[in-house]
Amino acid sequence: MTTLDYISIRKTFGPTVALESFDLDVKEGELITLLGPSGCGKTTALRITAGFEFADSGALLVGGADITRTPAHRRNMGMVFQSYSLFPNLTVANNVDFGLRTRKQDKITRHHRVAEMLELVELTPYADRYPHQLSGGQQQRVALARALAVQPQVLLLDEPLSALDAKVRTSLRDEIRRIQTEVGITTLFVTHDQEEALAISDRVCVMSAGRVEQLGTPTEVYRRPSTAFVARFVGTMNEFRAEVGMGGEVTVGGLRVDVPAMSARAAGSAVNLLVRPEDVHLQEDGLPGTVASVIFQGSTTLVGIRLDVFDQLVSVDVGQGRADDLAVGDRVHIGVVGANAVCEDAA
Amino acid sequence: MIPEPVAPVPEDPPTAPTALAPKAVGRPSRRWANLMPLLVLSITGLYFVAPLLTLFRYSLQNVPAFLLGRDTLFKNWSFEAFRTFFGEDQFWSALTLSFKLAVGTAVLTLALLIPTTVWVHLKLPKARTMVEFFTVLPYMIPPIALVAGIKLIQPHVRWFLNSNYSLIPFYVVMALPFTFRSIDAGIRALDVRTLVDASRSLGCGWTQTLWRVLLPNLRTAIISASFLTMAVVFGEFTLASLLIKRTLPLFQREYTSREPQAGYALNLMVLLATTLLFVLLGVLTKKRDRKHRTFAHRAATMAPITEPT
């Protein structure tokens, strides 16, 4: 187990800035997810960690040792790629053995390590198969076993689930977390899938335009987004046009909403108020609107309500009991809870 | 009120059986559609096979063409022509030289082309089209232009051109249109970037990655490129003639003018050998999983590991 520290990493590709003042510290045995849209720099950060790219400036420390300019094959990293990356000419067992053979370990040790790894990913019966004889999920498990076999200091996972179908994705995601916890290895996981990031991580690092927007536990990132970007990127958000009142409170179409996290703003200034669907509820004396859609999502139901005051569609997360009483065209009123809302200046 | 006369409704014409429906709308019959490819194939096949059959007959039968008939069809067949050229010392030396040149060309081609193509794919993907264009040039520019260039520099590099193996670099260039495409297609089928990254993350340097990951997975492309190189070398005449090297094609031409029947027998044999080479290529490049000792079998042959005390 080891720590991983990024200190003011900057990386450019021609005129494009991929990473700018990228700072991050990953604790021992922690699983951190780099989450962000395409082009935000998350894969660049991972490739710099693996040694496939070098930072223009800044430093990368593994267990306190500077490895900023160390070539990939001299770093002790295990990596799982998005496209399975197994060597097609080798069997499952030989794929897992590849890194051990490179490290010139003796035959018996290698054999036992391969057996141990295959058992860990529950693929022992598949040891003699070739990659093309396995499903996508099985191939990724072999890739994980291969990466872990060499006992790396850090495990790097580059969108390992994105090529899999939904059901396999969920089960492999849970399996990766189980194995990571069991082995206790420091892990960096890259994804653009927020659900995946929230489900698997100890902490989530939300990135935008090469910078860290927010670093926090999944609950913090979801419930208390520090910027409007994080609020919009992670989960669903309703956006209300609002105005700052005399007492520092916010009014949405005449409805008063208390937003504790809002920084001081001049009375009368226009703001955008971002509120999660679960913080909007049906109430008698709220903003009037008409039910436009009722979307059943299994454990929850999202109701789309078109507000009279803004002619705007709002998503409301209602409990199963309430949803059964609602139909498209019904007149309803909504209230807004501002405890976890994010406020930004209106353009 | 007298009802208006109603026009009699015409009876439906008898319905044709479904199988005959296409005929009714004027489409070519299915039978002709089935026969057409067969016909085209037969004519094309005849076009290729007829000259080969005459070559075969001329090489093996000692009956003049004007005496050919039903009575003479099975007379005077022998392998004498083959025995004649097999007995020629110059044939063996020419064959050996051509073979050495083919192997040398294949080795040099692969040594230059594989790292270059991998590098282009990994580091300069945008330059691939340009590289591809350059590799086509030897195909577009006739060999005689290359010969003219060699003529110009000949007085300055005579020491090099005196060697039989001086043909190798020129043959590498001439084979490029075929070899580059073969290697390039092999690399494109691989997702080479991910494999290289995976190999390096597992501790392999560039040389080990090339040796342990890329070469085994480019096996088919390497075999194809090598065989195509051999085909080019065994068929090249212009350069060898200019540099006065006694390669097999040069010997073939000289020998055919001296001993027509044995010469054509030799040509037939070279043709058959080339065909055989490509059949072999098909067999060798067929994807199959290699047999190996199973993981369980290996486990059985190993002593149990003992924990250090």
Interface mutation target, options A128, A130, A158, chain B, most CBs of B under 10 Å: A128
Helix, strand, or coil here: A278? helix
pLDDT of residue A327: 86
Contact (CB<8Å) A73/B204: yes
Residue of B nearest to A150 (CA): B202
Instruction: For tokens 């019966």, name the residue.
Output: A125
Residue of B nearest to A82 (CA): B194
Average pLDDT for chain A: 90
Residue of A nearest to B299 (CA): A111
For residue A63 the two structure tokens come to 């267990």
Q: Is the pLDDT of residue A78 over 90?
A: yes
Average pLDDT for chain B: 83
pLDDT of residue A140: 92
Residue of A nearest to B218 (CA): A89
pLDDT of residue B16: 44
Report the candidate in A230, A232, A228 with the shortest Cα–Cα distance to residue A218.
Answer: A230
Q: Is the pLDDT of residue B1 over 70?
A: no
Euclidean distance between CA atoms A42 and A159, whole angstroms: 10
**Element housing A307 (H / E):** strand A301-307
Interface mutation target, options B201, B301, B302, chain A, most CBs of A under 10 Å: B201
Cα-Cα end-to-end distance for chain A: 47
Domain B98-249, CATH class in plain words = mainly alpha
pLDDT of residue A118: 93
pLDDT of residue B249: 92
**Element housing A111 (H / E):** helix A107-120
A127 near B CB under 8 A: yes
Q: Where are the domains of chain B?
A: 98-249
Give the long-range contacts of residues A177-182, CB within 8 A, separation 24 or more. A177/A31, A179/A120, A179/A121, A179/A144, A179/A148, A180/A31, A180/A155, A182/A120
Minimal C-alpha gap between A67 and chain B (Å): 14
What confidence tens digit (pLDDT) does each residue in B63-91 have? 887 888 888 888 888 888 888 888 888 88
| A150 phi/psi in degrees, rounded to 5 | -85, 10
pLDDT of residue B63: 82
Report the candidate in B178, B166, B175 with the shortest Cα–Cα distance to residue B247.
Answer: B166
What confidence tens digit (pLDDT) does each residue in A208-244 have? 999 999 999 999 999 888 888 999 899 888 888 888 8
Q: Which residues contact B55 (CB under 8 A, 6 or more apart)?
A: B264, B267, B268, B271
What confidence tens digit (pLDDT) does each residue in B33-43 have? 888 999 999 99
Burial class (CB in 10 A: 0-12, 13-18, 19+), B3: exposed
- Give me the mean pLDDT over the B160-184 stretch: 92
Q: Is the pLDDT of residue B27 over 90?
A: no
What confidence tens digit (pLDDT) does each residue in A153-174 have? 999 999 999 888 888 888 889 9
Q: How many CB atoms lie within 10 A of CB A283?
A: 13
pLDDT of residue B18: 47
pLDDT bracket for residue B94 (50, 70, 90): very high
Contact (CB<8Å) A111/B191: no
- Give me the mean pLDDT over the B51-70 stretch: 85
- Give me the mean pLDDT over the A83-107 stretch: 92
The pTM of this model reads 0.78
| A186 phi/psi in degrees, rounded to 5 | -65, 130
B77 DSSP assignment = B
Euclidean distance between CA atoms B83 and B157, whole angstroms: 40
Contacts of A91 in chain B (CB under 8 A): 292, 295
Euclidean distance between CA atoms A220 and A216, whole angstroms: 6
> Which of A18-22, A295-299, A333-337, B147-151: highest mean pLDDT?
A18-22
Nearest CB to A72; choose among B201, B208, B219: B201
Cβ-Cβ pairs closer than 8 A, A with B, add up to 84
Q: Is the pLDDT of residue A318 over 50?
A: yes
Buried b (16+ CB within 10 A) or exposed e, A220-247: ebbbbbbebbbbebbbebbbbebbbeee
> Which of A323-332, A337-346, B118-127: highest mean pLDDT?
B118-127
Q: How far is CA B232 from CA B24, B48, B180, in A?
A: 54, 20, 14
Q: Strand order of the sheet with strand A301-307?
A: A312-318, A301-307, A280-296, A331-336
Q: Is the pLDDT of residue B198 over 80?
A: yes
Q: How far is CA A132 from CA A87, A135, A146, B289, in A?
A: 10, 8, 16, 10
For residue A118 the two structure tokens come to 């295959």
pLDDT bracket for residue B290 (50, 70, 90): low
Burial class (CB in 10 A: 0-12, 13-18, 19+), A135: exposed
State the Cα torsion B167-B170-B175-B177 to the nearest 10°. Answer: 180
Q: Is the pLDDT of residue A255 over 90?
A: no
Report the candidate in B78, B79, B58, B81 with the shortest Cα–Cα distance to residue B68.
Answer: B58
Task: Report the complex ipTM.
Answer: 0.83
What confidence tens digit (pLDDT) does each residue in B201-229 have? 999 999 999 999 999 999 889 998 998 89
**Element housing A232 (H / E):** helix A228-233
Nearest CB to A130; choose among B197, B289, B305: B289
What confidence tens digit (pLDDT) does each residue in A122-136 have? 899 999 999 999 999
Instruction: For tokens 């920084």, name the residue.
Output: A263
Nearest CB to A99; choose among B202, B216, B305: B202
